[in-house]
Every structure is written in structure tokens, then in C-alpha cells.
Copies of this chain bind each other. A is one copy, B any other.
Amino acid sequence: MEEIGSTVWVVADGYIPPGSSGDDPALASHESVCILNTGPADAAVELWVYFTDRDPDGPHVLPVPARRAFHQQLGALGVPAGVDYSVVLHSDVPVVVQHTRLDSRQAANALMSTIAYPAR
């Protein structure tokens, strides 16, 4: 399978909801970037976190194997809950990126998702 996608991706609305309902870990509030590498070579994806009040944090290097999907929770990279942020990803090979938030602060969860912005 050939490579598909772009090498720079942006998510502008990052916000990990501070708090969750219930005790099911799968339903805890979180945000993820979902990366697909369809190509024959492994990808090294450098992820930068931008904040409203301080310099960007990164790069966090995500290894995305050839011909694999890769879902990364932002909280696991140290992004704090309850603060506004944005994400930029740079890959050395074309990939596709989608961003999703699960918000379970109230009794029933809410979801939002969008294909990220392909800048290159």
C-alpha cells in the first residue's frame, strides 16, 4: 500500500475535561490523536503542544509503524486537564490524523471529533 496523507497536521481545540462520571476507565474523560500510516516505512511523528500562556512543549516522538493505526491519548503525554491547548504534528512520511474528545463530566458522555487540518 502506498503512502497517504500529509506531513504536518494541526488540532486547534485541545481541552481535556477535568473530571469524569462513574468508575469505568474506558469512559474517563480524555482526548486522543488517531494517526494512520498506510505506507511501507515506519513513521516518526513529532508532536508539539501549544498553550495559551507559555512556550510550546515538545517534541514528543510517536513511533507509528508501517501499515498500522496508532491512537495516542494526550493525557498520557503529560498534557494537563482543564487547560486550553493546541497540537501540531510533524511526520517524516505522509500520515492522516483525526482528533477526538470524550467528555464524561456529566452523567452521560459527550463526543466530538474532526479530521485534523492538513497543513502540508
Contacts and interface: CB of A to CB of B under 8 A. Distances in A.
A60 interface: no
B69 A52 contact: yes
Each complex incorporates copies of this chain amounting to 4
A50 B71 contact: no
Interface size bracket, A side: 35 or more
Given A67-B56, A106-B107, A113-B113, A88 B36 contact: yes
Interface string A68-90: 11110000000000001110100
A39 to B, nearest CB: 11
A45 interface: no
A12 interface: yes
Across the A-B interface, the 5 shortest Cβ-Cβ residue pairs: A108-B108, A12-B98, A13-B34, A36-B86, A112-B113
A115 B112 contact: no
Contacts of A106: 21-22, 27, 104, 107-109
